[in-house]
Structure 1
Amino acid sequence: MADDPQRNFRSTYYEKVGFRGVEEKKSLEILLKDNPLDVEKLSTFSQRFPLPSMYRIHVWKVLLGILPPHSDSHALVRQYRVDQFEDVSGALTVMRFIHASTPQTEIYLRMFQLENHTLPRRTELRPPDAEDENFLAIARAMEEIVDDPVDCFWLVRCFINQFKHKFGDSIPHLPKSLEHFLSQEDVCLLSHLKASGALASLPYSLWFRRCFAGCLPESSLQRVWDKVISGSCKILVFVAVEILLSYKIMIMGMNQPDAVYHFLTNMPQENTDAIVTKAIDLWHKYCGTPMHSV
C-alpha cells in the first residue's frame, strides 16, 4: 500500500512541534477540555511526552498553581494575578526601589523579595548574592519564553518556589547522582574528571540551582523545564551527563579544572536540542516515567 502523503505531512508536522503522533495531540486536547482539569494527568502527560509551544505556557500555569483546575474561573484568577502584580510593583515604585528604567528582571526580583519579606532597606542595597543571581538567571530565561510581564513574573515566582519546596533537600545530592549515572555510561570519562580534579568543580550551581538557565538556549531549556515543572529534578542530572558525554573528546583533552569549567559555562549552542533529546531518553531509561521523581 502506497504511503499517504497527507498522513506523512501531518506526522512530520506534529513531530516538529513536539508530538510524535496525532493521538498524543488529541489526548492533550481532551485533557485540557476537562473541567476541572486533572492536574495529575497533565503532569503525567508532560513527563511522558514533549509539550509543544502552543500549549506549554498554559500547562505550566496549571501545574504551578497559577491557574486553578477549574477552567471556568481562569479569567477571574488571571485578573487577580494582574491586580496583585500592579499592586506590588506600584508599592515598590512608591518606595523608590524601582523606576521607569529598571530592568524587568530586577523588578521581578524586588517583587519576589517584598512578598517573601527579604527586601533590604534602600540604604542597605547591595549587589545580588548567589541566590539573587540564580533568580535573575531564571527570570532572564523565562523572559525569552514568555512575552507578557505579568505571566513572566508569576511563572518565575511559582517555578522558583515550587523548585525550592519540592527539591530543596535533593539539590545537594544531585552531583553524586551525576557521578553515579556517568559511571554507568562512561567510566573512562568519569575517571578523567576525577583524576584532573574537574569533577569537584563542574558548574553545579548553573546546572542544578539555575536549572540550566543561561546555559541552554530557551528552545532547548523549556523542554527540560517541562520535566522539572511536572515533578522531576532528576532530569537535570541527565542533561548534565549528556553534556559531558557529548563533549567527551574536548573534555578528555583538558587537564585543568578551570579549563573544563570555562568550557562548560560557555559551551557551544549548536546541538543543544540533540543533547536534551538524548538526556530525556536517558531519564526514561533509568527512571521510567516517575510521577514524583527526584
Structure 2
Amino acid sequence: MAEDSQRNFRSIYYEKVGFRGVEEKKSLEILLKDDRLDIEKLCTFSQRFPLPSMYRILVWKVLLGILPLHQETHALVMMSRKEQYYNLHRALKVIRFINESTPKIEVFLHMHQLESGKLSRSQTYPLEPDDEVFLAIASTMEEMVDDDVDCYWLIRSFVNHLDAKYRDSQPHLPKAFEHYLNLEDNRLVTHLKTCYALDKLPYDLWFKKCFAGCLPESSLQRVWDKVVSGSCKILVFVAVEIFLTFKMKVMALNNADNIKAFLGKIPQDNTDAIVSKAIDLWHKHCGTPAHSV
C-alpha cells in the first residue's frame, strides 16, 4: 500500500512540475508526422499515456471520425465541417428556433437534433434523456474547446461514439463498479448494501454523462482520452476511486439519498489526484487495455 501511495504521489508530482510526458510527447509527435495517421497506434497511445493538451483536440477529431486519416485532406474537410455548421445554425435562425440569446449548448443541441431529424416542433417540448446527456457533455466540452465549430463537432461525435460503441456496455457498468469496489474495500460495499444505496447511486451522472457535471473539465480530459480511444471501463474506476477517496465521508452517511446527494456534488479540490489514482487502478485490474469496453 505504501509503495502504491508513493507511486501515485510521484506520478502526480511529476505531472505538476512538467517532467512527466516528455518522451511520450515525442512519441506522439512521431505518430502525427505520418501523412496517413494510424488509428490503432493513436488509440494505444491514448490508452497508455495522457494526451498533451496541444494535441488532444486533433487526436480526438481523428479518433472520433471528424477528420480523415490522411492529413493532407484535413484543411478541406474542416472547411466542409465549418460550412455544414453554419448552414445548420442559419437554418435554426430562419425558422426562429434560436436567437442571439439562446445559450450555446442549447444551440448545439438543436443543431444536432436538426441534423439527425429529431428536432421537435416546439421549443417547449420536454427534453428526452438523451438530450440531457447531450447538454451535460456539451457544457463540459465547451469548457475544453475554444472554437465553436470544433466544439460542436466534438460534442456531436462524442455523443454518437457513446451511443454506437458503449450503449450495450453501459448497463453492466454498475455491476462492474460493485465488483471492483468490493475488491478494493469490501467494507464500503457492505455499508452501501446496509443503507440500500447501491441502486440509488448517480450512475447516469457517472456512466451515461461520463462524469460531465461531476468532475471539472481540467480533470475530466484525461478520462475522456480513454473513452474516446476505446474504453468506457475507465469510468468504473473513477467511480471506485471517488469512493476510496471519500471513504470516511461516505461511511458516516447512513441514508441512501444523502450518499447520492454527496456523490453528485463531490469536493473539487483534489479531482486531479482522483483521476490519476483511477487510471492506476484501471491499469492494475485491466493491465494496459486497448479498446477495452
Is the pair's TM-score, using the shorter chain for normalization, greater than 0.5? yes
Q: CA deviation at 1:27?
A: 0.6
Aligned to 2:97: 97
Amino acid paired to 2:68: P
Identity %: 65
Amino acid paired to 1:27: S
CA–CA distance in structure 1, aligned partners of residues 35 and 17 of structure 2: 26
CA–CA distance in structure 2, aligned partners of residues 31 and 14 of structure 1: 24
| 1:21–1:141 CA distance, 2 compared to 1 (3 A) | closer
Kindly indicate whether residue 15 of structure 2 is the aligned counterpart of residue 15 of structure 1. Answer: yes
Secondary structure of the corresponding residue to residue 65 of structure 1: coil
- Is the CA contact (8 Å cut-off) linking 1:206 and 1:215 kept in structure 2? yes
Q: CA deviation at 1:173?
A: 0.7
Aligned to 1:260: 259
CA–CA distance in structure 1, aligned partners of residues 157 and 47 of structure 2: 19
Q: CA deviation at 1:127?
A: 3.2
Residues 85-140 of structure 1 deviation map (CA, whole Å, 9 limit, x = unaligned) = 00111111111111111111001100111111111112x73232322111101000
Q: Which runs of 4+ in 1 moved over 4 A?
A: 11-14
CA–CA distance in structure 1, aligned partners of residues 287 and 12 of structure 2: 26
Aligned to 1:24: 24
Q: CA deviation at 1:286?
A: 1.0
Kindly indicate whether residue 124 of structure 2 is the aligned counterpart of residue 141 of structure 1. Answer: no
| 1:210–1:244 CA distance, 2 compared to 1 (3 A) | same
Aligned to 1:168: 167
Q: How many residues align?
A: 283
Q: CA deviation at 1:19?
A: 6.6
Q: CA deviation at 1:12?
A: 11
Q: CA deviation at 1:269?
A: 0.1
Residues 174-195 of structure 1 deviation map (CA, whole Å, 9 limit, x = unaligned) = 0000001011000000000011
Residues 20-44 of structure 1 deviation map (CA, whole Å, 9 limit, x = unaligned) = 3432121110001111011110110
Aligned to 1:46: 46
Kindly indicate whether residue 74 of structure 2 is the aligned counterpart of residue 82 of structure 1. Answer: no
Aligned to 1:282: 281
Secondary structure of the corresponding residue to residue 128 of structure 1: coil
| 1:108–1:183 CA distance, 2 compared to 1 (3 A) | same
Secondary structure of the corresponding residue to residue 222 of structure 1: helix
Aligned to 2:4: none
| 1:12–1:241 CA distance, 2 compared to 1 (3 A) | closer
CA–CA distance in structure 2, aligned partners of residues 34 and 101 of structure 1: 43
CA–CA distance in structure 1, aligned partners of residues 219 and 17 of structure 2: 13
- Is the CA contact (8 Å cut-off) linking 1:67 and 1:77 kept in structure 2? yes
Residues 212-264 of structure 1 deviation map (CA, whole Å, 9 limit, x = unaligned) = 00000111011100000000000000000000111110100111011001101
CA–CA distance in structure 2, aligned partners of residues 173 and 165 of structure 1: 16
**How do 1:111-122 residues align onto structure 2 when only pairs under 5 Å count?**
111-122=111-122
Aligned to 2:233: 234
Residues 254-279 of structure 1 deviation map (CA, whole Å, 9 limit, x = unaligned) = 11011001101111000000000000
Aligned to 2:200: 201
| 1:88–1:17 CA distance, 2 compared to 1 (3 A) | farther
Amino acid paired to 1:205: D
CA–CA distance in structure 1, aligned partners of residues 145 and 290 of structure 2: 26
Amino acid paired to 1:262: A
| 1:210–1:186 CA distance, 2 compared to 1 (3 A) | same
Aligned to 1:4: none
CA–CA distance in structure 2, aligned partners of residues 152 and 116 of structure 1: 17
Q: CA deviation at 1:52?
A: 1.7
Amino acid paired to 1:15: E
Where structure 1 has 5 or more consecutive residues not aligned to the other structure, the ranges are: 1-10
Where structure 2 has 5 or more consecutive residues not aligned to the other structure, the ranges are: 1-10
Amino acid paired to 2:165: K
Amino acid paired to 1:103: P
Aligned to 1:6: none
Kindly indicate whether residue 184 of structure 2 is the aligned counterpart of residue 185 of structure 1. Answer: yes
CA–CA distance in structure 2, aligned partners of residues 55 and 137 of structure 1: 24
- Is the CA contact (8 Å cut-off) linking 2:109 and 2:131 kept in structure 1? yes
| 1:158–1:12 CA distance, 2 compared to 1 (3 A) | closer
CA–CA distance in structure 2, aligned partners of residues 37 and 147 of structure 1: 24
